[in-house]
Amino acid sequence: MKKLSTLQLVPGMTVAESVLSYDHQLILSKGTVLTDKLITKLDLYGVFTISVEDTESAEPAYPDAAEAVTLPADLSYSERIRLSPTFQQFKKEYELNVESFRGMVNDVVERNVKLDVGVLLRNSLEVIASGKGQIGILDMLQNMREYDDSTFTHCLNVGLIANMFATWLKWSPEDVETVTVCGLLHDIGKLLVPYTIISKPGKLSAEEYAQIKKHPISGYQLLLGQDVNEHVLYSALMHHERCDGTGYPMRLVNKQIDPFAKVIAIADVYDAMTASRVYRGPLCPFRVIEIFEAEGFQKYDVEYLLTFLEHVVNSYIQNRCRLSDGREGTILAVNREKLSRPFVQVGDEYLNLADYDNLTVSDLL
């Protein structure tokens, strides 16, 4: 048996010890064979490490698995995005921004320098402007990640996703700016957790795990000394709280959670779930939506989550896709009853994917 970080898991591994959530709810039972969906589900519950069987077959076959996903015969949806000039421009801005963000935040954490929120925000808005269309940002963020899960890129991603999300919620321009800052700084407390723990690929002891779970409180305390909006403070403190009371550190329930923190919670978990894994590229958004539909509505603000998912689906209308049975088609319309199963045209046939138990959108083309 060995303990692995969720980033190291690959489908086919067998769970060696049952995985429980923070509130002792069973997430995966011992003996379960991992699938892509189950691995992604662990992010939804904020699980960092699990134990898997130490057998030959459980050894991750990284190169083969990665090749199978990333080297299709013709250009994939991701590859087309990566080759576009807009993406190249976005990438340049993004990389510049991560560096200046890293410098500014390190100054705050290490030398207690006053944070210039205006500059922080302006830099991030420039990244958004370079991405032009809004859903473009989501797609581009997914393609920015080459297994880089550093706290800085994650925070920048969450800031950019939250910015777009708040415009979908029709928040005022000031609130859109505030929620962007909330995203940028939500995990600042993680920078106080020793890097050796954050980046540790293998086993995390109970104490190390407990230290990671302190990051909302340390982030809040750190930001108390800064001139920031109260929603920024609350987002750092409450982004791991869940509406059903199963989150941490204070196990708040729906009404007690700051609305900005609720938006950040969704942007945060979406960023984690769509990230590339060692065995595959970024996850198809429809798979992420399916997981949210199955388990997200008790945990996240229902109204916010519906708005978020509907907009994500909406942005793929008219997009070509591959279905789970291998057929190709065009996404025609959002299915409000079941957002992960849109209406799709395949040849002359019009399919409501919700009518089929096992027919899903498996890739965007």
**Rounded to the nearest whole angstrom, what is the least distance from the CB of residue 234 to Fe ion in the complex?**
13
**Rounded to the nearest whole angstrom, what is the least distance from the CB of residue 180 to Fe ion in the complex?**
15
Sign of the alpha-carbon dihedral angle for 49, 247, 37, 363: negative
Q: Which is nearer to Fe ion, 213 or 322 (CB)?
A: 213
Q: Which is nearer to Fe ion, 187 or 301 (CB)?
A: 187
Quick check: 128 and 160 in contact, CB under 8 A?
yes
Q: Which is nearer to Fe ion, 87 or 220 (CB)?
A: 220
Q: Which is nearer to Fe ion, 188 or 361 (CB)?
A: 188
Binds Fe ion (CB under 5 A): choice among 241, 268, 301, 363: 268
Q: Which is nearer to Fe ion, 27 or 269 (CB)?
A: 269
What is the enclosing helix (H) or strand (E) of 320? strand 320-323
Separation between Cα atoms, residue 262 and residue 257, nearest integer Å = 7
The piece of 165-173, 224-232, 267-275, 336-344 that touches Fe ion (CB under 5 A) is 267-275
The piece of 42-50, 164-172, 262-270, 295-303 that touches Fe ion (CB under 5 A) is 262-270
Judged by CB under 5 A, does residue 290 bind Fe ion? no
**Residue carrying the six token digits 């963020």:** 141
Residue 49 has, within 13 A of its CA and on its CB side, a CA count of 20
Q: Which is nearer to Fe ion, 39 or 236 (CB)?
A: 236
Judged by CB under 5 A, does residue 187 bind Fe ion? yes
- Angle, to 10 degrees, between the axis of helix 259-274 and the axis of helix 151-168? 120
**Rounded to the nearest whole angstrom, what is the least distance from the CB of residue 110 to Fe ion in the complex?**
20
> Which burial class, exposed, middle or buried, applies to 257 when counting CB atoms under 10 A from its CB (0-12, 13-18, 19+)?
buried
The piece of 41-49, 127-135, 180-188, 323-331 that touches Fe ion (CB under 5 A) is 180-188
Size of the site for Fe ion (CB under 5 A): 2
> Which burial class, exposed, middle or buried, applies to 210 when counting CB atoms under 10 A from its CB (0-12, 13-18, 19+)?
exposed
Quick check: 247 and 269 in contact, CB under 8 A?
no
Separation between Cα atoms, residue 128 and residue 136, nearest integer Å = 9
**Rounded to the nearest whole angstrom, what is the least distance from the CB of residue 267 to Fe ion in the complex?**
9
Residues that bind Fe ion (CB under 5 A): 187, 268
